[in-house]
Amino acid sequence: MTEVHKGHCLCGAVQLEGRGAPKLEICHCDMCRRWHGSPAVAASFEQGVHIVQGKDAIQTFQSSDWAERAFCSKCGTTLYYHLTGSDVIHSSQAGLFDLPEGLSIHEEIFVDEQPDYYRFDTDAPRITSAEMFERFEKYEAEQQNND
């Protein structure tokens, strides 16, 4: 059976489920920090994030040509980051979910955009924005080969 991690926004209007094993990463990019008011601790799940209640309370903001960021229109909780061309929600906010103890951070990303007033106590690999864009390009090339 697939493990299910339940999550919800601050007011409870939006109920989500993360299905499958969770993977956590910290994003230090300028956009995430503005979106949350702090760095993002993002959670992805093997079988994605699913909205189980409150779809009509969700509003999205198109933050780039390829992605949108969703939030609860009633309480303002930031919900997830979504690639607009995809059917799946890959990345949500770890704080929304009831996650088990003992998880560790998989990696920290966009570390060159990190301000020097905070630091997380992890041994996770630190990935720069140049390395991230290389990954995106590789991913896009693979997608086109699959067409």
Contact call for residue 75 and Zn ion (CB under 5 A): yes
Contact call for residue 111 and Zn ion (CB under 5 A): no
Interacting residue with Zn ion among 16, 26, 27, 96 (CB under 5 A)? 27
- Contacts for 134-141: CB closer than 8 Å, 24+ residues apart: none
Pick between residue 1 and residue 130 the one whose CB is nearest to Zn ion: 130
Minimum CB separation of residue 138 from Zn ion in Å reads: 19
Q: For the chain, where are the E strands, in sequence order?
A: 4-8, 15-19, 22-27, 40-45, 49-53, 58-62, 67-72, 78-83, 91-93, 105-109, 126-127
Contact call for residue 70 and Zn ion (CB under 5 A): no
3-state secondary structure of 97: strand
- Is residue 126 within 8 Å of residue 111, measured between CB atoms? yes
**Separation CA 94–CA 79 (nearest Å):** 10
Contact call for residue 32 and Zn ion (CB under 5 A): yes
Minimum CB separation of residue 40 from Zn ion in Å reads: 6
Minimum CB separation of residue 46 from Zn ion in Å reads: 21
Minimum CB separation of residue 1 from Zn ion in Å reads: 29
**Separation CA 89–CA 92 (nearest Å):** 8
Contact call for residue 11 and Zn ion (CB under 5 A): yes
The site for Zn ion (CB under 5 A) is made up of 9, 11, 13, 27, 29, 32, 72, 74-75
